[in-house]
């Protein structure tokens, strides 16, 4: 008897479910018949959606309703109307929270026949694109607007190959496309980066590096140039990649893998600090530091500041002659690769040259003052102890590098001792 009752209960449940699936959506949903009308418009059970798999339900965001089918779904809201989703686009939309997510409700059905066999669908909060090569990905907001000006999927960028990634420096976001990336930040707007310029920019740490965010798209006429917060990068088919930093930017990155551009670079203005020259902004900051140190009873001298390309070539050659090239490369930069050539570096010392240009300088009054206070004036100890594998140079507690007060304070606060780490650049232990 128990088995018979179970079979009867199962049969009754099956009949009720069949009745529910066969019922008119209008009878089950408080949507004014919108879902039923959309279903019939799309071919009913003979169309892409096939037969319904539930009776539908309401109570969604913004007074919406939904009914699911074998081949997809129809969502309705008073603001968007009733529209179907299916396939890869529906799966991506579902992964983003359906109508409760960033995209909201669909505003129309899928449109296909795009480049490379692609499709797209409009939603309240953006679009979702799909192609066999890229899969399904959303594009929205400022990045969507910029993408439109660049020709959508028919332009240089092609299809999106991932969603938007945010939380970058300065509150920025980026999105990957087949042909490059689009970056957005509150301060610099929305701009694409691609090709050789994009690869060169990436080697300097993307938006974290000395160039910062792009402030324009690349402009080409024989050669291509793109402007960034901190300078310009130029691609020339007949010459190596090159860059120029704006005169005010102290965040130039120069190490064994990132030479100055051009190699013979000279800073725009120089000013005296004691017996040595520095770039004017760095010189003013160092004079303040030396003055404050003196007021605290600590004397700091200047030993070696700006060196021209030819000066650095002479010095480097002398080290090679004395020690051999392998060791010389751990204590001296090749011409065109020297921080001193930027005008932003100064080797400091003590009166009487105690521990001059030696590791023991760390334990002198001048060395201790610099280690504790240089950041307040916009300087860092550029080659800290234990980081030769990153910087390429042995510990130099006397070598100060001007990066500006903001960057110096951030590096101290974040516990980031080297520019390579601060810029998220690759280590540069060798050329």
Tokens (6 digits) for 321: 């002659």
Decide: residue 189, CB within 10 A, 0-12 exposed, 13-18 middle, 19+ buried.
middle
For residue 387, the number of C-alpha atoms closer than 13 Å in the C-beta half-sphere is 17
Tokens (6 digits) for 395: 């510990």
Exposure b/e, 39-57, CB count within 10 A at least 16 = b: beebeeeeeebeebeebbe
Distances (CA, A) of 431 to 108, 259, 310, 335, 337: 56, 10, 19, 12, 10
Exposure b/e, 249-265, CB count within 10 A at least 16 = b: bbbbbbbbbbbbbeeeb
Is residue 352 within 8 A of residue 381, CB to CB? The reply is no
Rounded distance between C-alpha atoms, residue 243 and residue 226, angstroms? 10
Phi-psi region of 151 (alpha: psi -120 to 50; beta: other; left: phi over 0): left
Closest to 417 (Cα-Cα) out of 386, 378, 392: 386
DSSP for residue 118:
E
Bridging pattern class, strands 223-228 and 219-221: antiparallel
Decide: residue 331, CB within 10 A, 0-12 exposed, 13-18 middle, 19+ buried.
middle
Q: Which parts of 260-414 fold into alpha helices (H)? A: 280-295, 309-323, 325-331, 365-373, 388-391, 405-414
Q: Of residues 164, 218, 396, 420, which has the active-site annotation?
A: 396
Let me know if 396 is a catalytic residue.
yes
Instruction: Find how far residue 19's CA is from the centre of its chain.
Output: 54
Which positions are annotated as active-site residues?
Answer: 396
């Amino acid at each position: 008897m128990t088995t018979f009752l179970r079979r009867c209960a199962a049969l009754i449940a099956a009949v009720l479910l069949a009745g529910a699936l066969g019922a008119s959506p209008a009878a089950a949903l408080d949507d004014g018949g919108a879902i039923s009308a959309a279903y019939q418009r799309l071919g009913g059970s003979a169309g892409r959606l096939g037969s319904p798999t539930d009776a539908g339900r309401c109570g969604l965001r913004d007074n919406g309703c939904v009914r699911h089918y074998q081949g997809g779904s129809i969502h309705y809201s008073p603001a968007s109307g009733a529209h179907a989703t299916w396939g890869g686009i529906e799966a991506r939309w579902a992964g983003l929270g359906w109508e409760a997510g960033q995209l909201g409700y669909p505003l129309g059905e899928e449109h296909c026949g795009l480049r490379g066999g692609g499709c797209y669908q409009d939603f309240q909060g953006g679009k979702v694109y799909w192609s066999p090569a890229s899969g399904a990905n959303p594009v929205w907001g400022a990045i969507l607007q910029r993408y439109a000006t660049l020709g959508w999927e028919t332009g240089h960028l092609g299809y999106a190959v991932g969603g938007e990634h945010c939380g970058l420096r300065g509150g920025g976001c980026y999105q990957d496309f087949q042909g490059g990336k689009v970056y957005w930040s509150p301060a610099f707007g929305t701009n694409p980066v691609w090709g050789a310029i994009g690869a060169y920019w990436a080697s300097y740490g993307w938006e974290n590096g000395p160039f910062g965010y792009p402030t324009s798209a690349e402009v080409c006429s024989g050669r291509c140039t793109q402007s960034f917060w901190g300078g310009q990068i130029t691609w020339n088919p007949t010459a190596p990649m090159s860059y120029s930093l704006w005169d005010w930017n102290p965040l130039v990155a120069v190490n064994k893998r990132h030479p100055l551009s051009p190699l013979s670079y000279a800073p725009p203005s120089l000013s005296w600090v004691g017996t040595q020259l520095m770039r004017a902004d760095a010189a003013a900051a160092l004079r303040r530091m030396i003055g404050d140190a003196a007021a605290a009873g600590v004397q700091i001298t200047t030993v070696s500041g700006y060196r021209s390309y030819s000066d650095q070539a002479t010095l480097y050659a002398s080290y090679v002659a004395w020690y051999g090239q392998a060791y010389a490369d751990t204590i001296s930069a090749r011409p065109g690769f020297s921080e001193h050539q930027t005008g932003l570096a100064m080797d400091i010392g003590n009166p009487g040259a105690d521990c001059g240009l030696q590791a023991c300088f760390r334990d002198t009054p001048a060395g201790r003052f610099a280690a504790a206070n240089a950041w307040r004036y916009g300087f860092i100890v550029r080659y800290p102890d234990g980081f030769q594998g990153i910087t390429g140079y042995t510990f130099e507690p006397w070598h100060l590098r001007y990066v500006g007060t903001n960057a110096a304070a951030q590096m101290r606060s974040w516990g980031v001792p080297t520019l390579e780490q601060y810029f998220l650049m690759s280590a540069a232990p060798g050329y």
